[in-house]
Amino acid sequence: MARILLASAVLALGQLLSCDRYPDCVNGPLAQNDVCNMDLNPSERAKALVSAMTIEEKLANMVDHSQGAERLGLPKYDWWNEALHGVADSPGVHFADSGNFSSATSFPLPITISAAFDDDLVQAIGQAIGMEARAYANAGRAGLDFWTPNINPFKDPRWGRGLETPGEDPFRISKYVEALLKGMEWFGKDPGKTEKRQLLATCKHYAAYDLERWNGVVRYSFDAIVSMQDLVEYYLPPFKQCARDSNVASIMCSYNRVNGTPACANEYLMQTVLREHWNWTSDNNYVVSDCNAVHNIYADHKWVKTAAQAAGKAFTAGTDNICEAGGWTTDVVGAFNQSLVSEEVIDRALRRQYEGLIRSDYFAVFRDEVEGPRSYGWGNVNTKLAQSLALQAAVEGTALLKNDGTLPIKLAKNQSVAVIGFWANDTSDVTMLGNYYGKPAVYRTPLWAAQEAGFQVNYATAPASGAANYSAAIQAARDSDVVVYFGGISEAFESEDKDRTVIAWPEVQRTLLRKISALGKKIVVVQLGTSIDNTPLLVNEQVNAVLWVGYPGMYGGPAAWNIITGKTAPAGRLPITQYPANYTEQVPMTDMSLRPSSKNPGRTYKWYSQAVQEFGFGLHYTNFTIRFDPRYANHSYPTTKLFAGCSLTSRKDRCPFPSHVVQVKNNGNVTSDFVALAFVTTTAGPTPHPIKELASYKRLADVRPGEERSVPLDFTIGNLARVNERGDTVLYEGEYCLVVDVPQQDKACFKLTGADVVLDVWPQPKAGNATHVR
């Protein structure tokens, strides 16, 4: 999204809060329209409303700040609401200055939540965010749609928005978003099987979007040149999950071009793939543009000459609502008056939008008491459950990257600890929140948590970058028995509209750590931020332990100390590759290819083999072993028989492959969670072959010392399939191995025999289909 300016965030606040945000379906003029007839299906109700609107009223409701129709009793509505990791500041969301609705739970960012590899936790967080967001809507302080989650794969460590995502692996992202949407969108015990939604989520940014502003290249004009193989295999699977499998309410098209065509004017992506191939039509789902992305079509991409032409191309290709920001407006009226968009297309877009609102009870009549999501209020915000989930996610998402036995720390009464670093006592109250945050009910820093625990603390701040005076930090370290340094990077380094050019630790922080190392104290480093080359810390024997916390949210301080002191044992795994600092010299951000070549060393753990620490890495306070049950060795599976009993004829990739049981044993003396990770390797299918690909995972809770558990790991046929150069997904005959853990501990190999099976025939761009895929 474009950065939210304070001026736009205050969009007619007094007017918005002075009235009920829901239409009056009982006494107002809208009560006479069938949109309020709850006996009709949502499609019929939406059609009735749009049919009653004049063309002027229709055109006024095609952008994010929809003007409504006073004649009909249809109120204004703002579609721009944010809730990436909790209800967040945005033009449609309005926090009170104090009291009720002045705050919301701020969970860790997705990059940290994802590191827990705990999908039950993800679903619970989604449900909590959805409930709080709906409560804000019911109070007239937000809309019903929220532009989250960000599911673009985080393949390049320089990308400024990687912190918003669940990481680099498309399978992990897909499972994450499946769990999140179950909790966030759906009301009831059977997610996706009811017409009623708690709120409307938006999967973004469609598609191949992972560049902000790098070496003069900006997202507003960038042309992402992507092969069909990479597009289908890497960039699109999370969106397939959203659209085909999770039936998300909305999808946002991105700023960039894809192979020459702006994403928000790309009929191939929005119609051929999204609505035809993935059949994302069951709820008449809608597409919204990123903010000013339609303006960029003519102003930056130079794809057409005028604002009216840009709007006409976007609406006709399948965009249904256009977000405007920063004073730029969309020439919707000009597009219609110049016959660049038909009234039929306008009606289609409006029906899609209003059908979404209908499914969330925006237009509703309650004969008795208000029920379901419309009943949520302030009592559903900042609940004890939500706050415990925020702490749990920050703890579970912490990954231990180095430990020589120093952790967990046990301090004697006469011992003290130095708490040092730029975010150790963050007074901005936002650094641990990253971006797209709201107003948390509390904000607990590492210093607060250390003092609350009763430690003797010597505190000193320290610079994150720039010029430095180290005297206070060195004195605090000298006066202490143990040093805990809270460093890394923050949104000042990586953010929307800001990519990095350097992925090494900031020099000012490395210098301070070298000086502290010379004191001979025990040193624990707690790293904020996404990907940094930790080599200097890993090879420095005076740095005893390193913890990665990502962006841990409002309870980042207590979460860190829970791990440091051993109250909870760490079990998080890196959701991203930690690259060496010189990686930035080996491939430009503009290179969208994944596979290694003479100009590209490869991207992600699948194709890059020189990681400092790879995707899935994470240590423990104990020693685990994981082994496959011996009965799975050297099996053969005829490919055609694998589909027996599977009714998913249009989604063969979702058909189950036989589960494999692993034995997990805690050989140490500390109770700990453990994340079982299973990857598939094969030489079948097109070359080159990936090093490995994540195929299954499961988080085990509280494995006691000496305990051994038998754990079934579930797989689908799609986990074994490969994508060919045409984009088809194929199950190839050949030899395969499942390998477990990082580093690898065991493997189970098998053969697929018989003919290759095409699971999905990928649609090719048609003549004039608005894209040319290389």
The question of whether 290 is a catalytic residue gets the answer yes
Find the helix or strand (DSSP H, E) in which 146 lies.
strand 145-146
Are 717 and 752 a contacting pair, CB within 8 Å? Answer: no
Q: How far is CA 553 from CA 95, 277, 429, 532, in A?
A: 18, 38, 10, 20
- How would you classify the pairing of strands 261-262 and 257-258? antiparallel
Which one-letter DSSP state was computed for residue 595?
A: S
Contacts of 590 (CB under 8 A, 6+ apart): 211, 214, 217, 222
3-state secondary structure of 55: helix
**Among candidate residues 454, 671, 668, 447, the one with its CA nearest the CA of residue 556:** 447
Give the separation between CA 332 and CA 317, rounded to whole angstroms: 15
In DSSP notation, 648-700 reads: -TT-GGGSEEEEEEEEEEE-SSS-EEEEEEEEEEES-SSSSPPS-EEEEEEEE
Contacts of 221 (CB under 8 A, 6+ apart): 296, 300, 301, 302
Are 664 and 711 a contacting pair, CB within 8 Å? Answer: yes
Give the separation between CA 135 and CA 141, rounded to whole angstroms: 9
- Here the tokens at position 192 are 């996706």
**Among candidate residues 599, 210, 615, 547, the one with its CA nearest the CA of residue 408:** 547
Q: Which residues pair with 498 in a beta bridge?
A: 495
Give the separation between CA 50 and CA 343, rounded to whole angstroms: 11
Q: Provide the CA 114 distance to its chain's centre, in angstroms.
A: 8
Are 421 and 560 a contacting pair, CB within 8 Å? Answer: no
Length of the chain: 774
What is the number of other CB atoms lying within 10 angstroms of the CB of residue 6? 7
Are 447 and 557 a contacting pair, CB within 8 Å? Answer: yes
Say which of 169, 210, 230, 290 is annotated catalytic.
290
Give the separation between CA 297 and CA 83, rounded to whole angstroms: 27
- Here the tokens at position 534 are 């930790």
3-state secondary structure of 494: coil
Are 703 and 621 a contacting pair, CB within 8 Å? Answer: no
Give the separation between CA 390 and CA 571, rounded to whole angstroms: 17
In DSSP notation, 23-35 reads: --SSSSGGGGSGG
- Residues taking part in catalysis: 290
